[in-house]
């Protein structure tokens, strides 16, 4: 359909609204269009006066750090972000992008933040064209897509920024064994491990980095997938390509799988003269001014920092594991991995303990 026919049709239908501004921005690089409208209109229609010119849309942060999400304005008039009548709205998209959570709304001198972002966000306002969002104390829940929406009269423009946090994806199944978690149980299982359910992008990056796991697990968009770098019969077929095996969206309450979690953290081996029961291991970490480490923290230390120790130790969920970054005899000789010993009787005095201390 030609541009003229499209425009006339929308005018006749009475639906020529903000969508036309978006059309112009997307289809007229010089930001102006001359339109002759037979029997309706003739003349020159200018593009929207307001656009966002941010040059990048992906930012990276560390857990607990402060980060700036960029949003800069290009205007053909003298208004600034603080001017009356101009509205800036920051929102965060849900994992499946079906919902938007309010983060901050600003109009003139009036500014308000919402929910978990209260007290953690403000506009940078480095100059009159700056609506960048400063986010403090970045958490794992902050990972995802943000929208910066600027409304100025009939102009309504949106810029999308993706926030990523350095961390690691790890598969998790509970004491009961594989495929025992519905989606809501999976969310809680990751939370118990100081982590969140991983996103597709996070699992994809883990696969690109070599992750190979033949158990299907929940992702935060409600899909169930698993990463395969070495195709084989029981894992989608030996003739299939390497990649993410996708079961699609599953019923969140009735379907049961494992889960892929995402976390960031660090841990250490607590030197002790004797082996410990589980309760003794918990107390030993507390006596050292720390807490017993969880599975997520071990995976993060192994993946991000190359942590390597050939000693089996208790973790907070009652499992016993040890991280190997340098495969060697008697210590995961074939591959680097977090080795899983099992869920032994908690009264057995056969293991040491891995502890975790937060940032000081």
Q: Which helix (H) or strand (E) holds 185?
A: helix 183-192
Q: Which tokens in the block code for residue 307?
A: 């942590």
Over the stretch 199-223, which tens digit does the pLDDT of each residue have?
A: 999 999 889 888 889 999 999 999 9
| Integer Cα distance of 305 and 23 in angstroms | 47
What is the share, in percent, of the chain residues with pLDDT greater than 90?
A: 48
Would you say 102 and 89 are in contact if contact means Cβ atoms under 8 Å apart? yes
Q: Which residue has the tokens 């980060």?
A: 67
Average pLDDT over residues 100-119: 93
| Integer Cα distance of 360 and 350 in angstroms | 32
**Alpha carbon of 40 to those of 10, 11, 18, 19, 94: distances in Å?**
12, 9, 19, 19, 43
Average pLDDT over residues 241-264: 93
Q: 33: which strand partners? A: 45
Over the stretch 113-148, which tens digit does the pLDDT of each residue have?
A: 999 999 999 999 888 888 899 999 888 889 899 999
- In the structure, what pLDDT confidence band is assigned to residue 265 with cuts at 50, 70 and 90? low
Average pLDDT over residues 332-347: 93
| Integer Cα distance of 134 and 43 in angstroms | 43
| Integer Cα distance of 151 and 255 in angstroms | 42
List all residues 6 or more positions away from 256 whose beta carbon is below 8 Å from its beta carbon: 179, 180, 181, 182
Check residue 353 and give its pLDDT. 97
Q: Which residue has the higher pLDDT, 360 or 189?
A: 189
Residue 18 has pLDDT above 60, yes or no: no
| Integer Cα distance of 328 and 334 in angstroms | 8
SS3 content of the chain, % helix, strand, coil (to 5): 20, 35, 45
- In the structure, what pLDDT confidence band is assigned to residue 268 with cuts at 50, 70 and 90? confident
Q: Give the torsion through C-alpha atoms of 356, 263, 254, 216, to 10 deg.
A: -110
Over the stretch 20-74, which tens digit does the pLDDT of each residue have?
A: 333 333 333 334 333 333 333 334 444 545 566 666 688 988 777 789 999 988 7
**Alpha carbon of 18 to those of 49, 154, 217: distances in Å?**
13, 7, 41
Would you say 124 and 67 are in contact if contact means Cβ atoms under 8 Å apart? no
Would you say 111 and 122 are in contact if contact means Cβ atoms under 8 Å apart? yes
Domains of the chain: 3-46 (no CATH), 50-165 (2.60.40.10), 168-263 (3.10.100.10), 268-356 (3.10.100.10)
Strand 313-314 to strand 352-356: parallel, antiparallel, or no bridges (unpaired)? parallel
């Amino acid at each position: 359909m030609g541009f003229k026919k499209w425009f006339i049709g929308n005018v006749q239908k009475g639906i020529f609204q903000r969508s036309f501004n978006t059309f112009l921005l997307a289809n007229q690089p010089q930001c102006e269009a001359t339109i002759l409208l037979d029997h309706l209109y003739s003349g020159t229609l200018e593009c929207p006066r307001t656009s966002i010119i941010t040059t990048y849309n992906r930012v990276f942060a560390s857990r607990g750090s402060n980060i700036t999400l960029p949003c800069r304005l290009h205007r053909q008039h003298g208004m600034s972000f603080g001017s009356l009548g101009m509205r800036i709205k920051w929102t965060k998209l849900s994992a499946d992008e079906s919902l938007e959570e309010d983060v901050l709304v600003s109009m003139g001198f009036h500014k308000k933040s919402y929910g978990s972002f209260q007290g953690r966000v403000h506009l940078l306002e480095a100059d009159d064209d700056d609506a960048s969002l400063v986010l403090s104390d970045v958490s794992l829940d902050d990972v995802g897509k943000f929208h910066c929406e600027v409304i100025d009269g009939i102009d309504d423009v949106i810029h999308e920024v993706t926030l990523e946090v350095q961390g690691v994806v790890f598969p998790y199944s509970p004491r009961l064994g594989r495929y025992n978690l519905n989606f809501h149980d999976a969310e809680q299982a990751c939370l118990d491990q100081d982590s969140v359910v991983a996103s597709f992008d996070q699992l994809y990056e883990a696969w690109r980095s070599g992750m190979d796991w033949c158990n299907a697990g929940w992702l935060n968009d409600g899909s169930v997938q698993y990463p395969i770098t070495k195709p084989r019969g029981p894992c989608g077929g030996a003739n299939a390509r390497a990649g993410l095996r996708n079961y699609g969206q599953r019923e969140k309450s009735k379907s049961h799988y494992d889960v892929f979690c995402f976390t960031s953290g660090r841990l250490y081996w607590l030197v002790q003269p004797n082996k410990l029961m589980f309760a003794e291991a918990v107390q030993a970490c507390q006596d050292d001014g720390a807490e017993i480490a969880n599975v997520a923290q071990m995976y993060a230390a192994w993946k991000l920092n190359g942590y390597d120790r050939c000693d089996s130790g208790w973790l907070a969920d009652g499992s016993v594991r040890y991280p190997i970054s340098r495969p060697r005899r008697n210590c995961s000789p074939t591959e680097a991995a977090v080795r899983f010993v099992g869920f032994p009787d908690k009264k057995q005095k056969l293991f040491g303990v891995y502890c975790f201390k937060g940032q000081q």
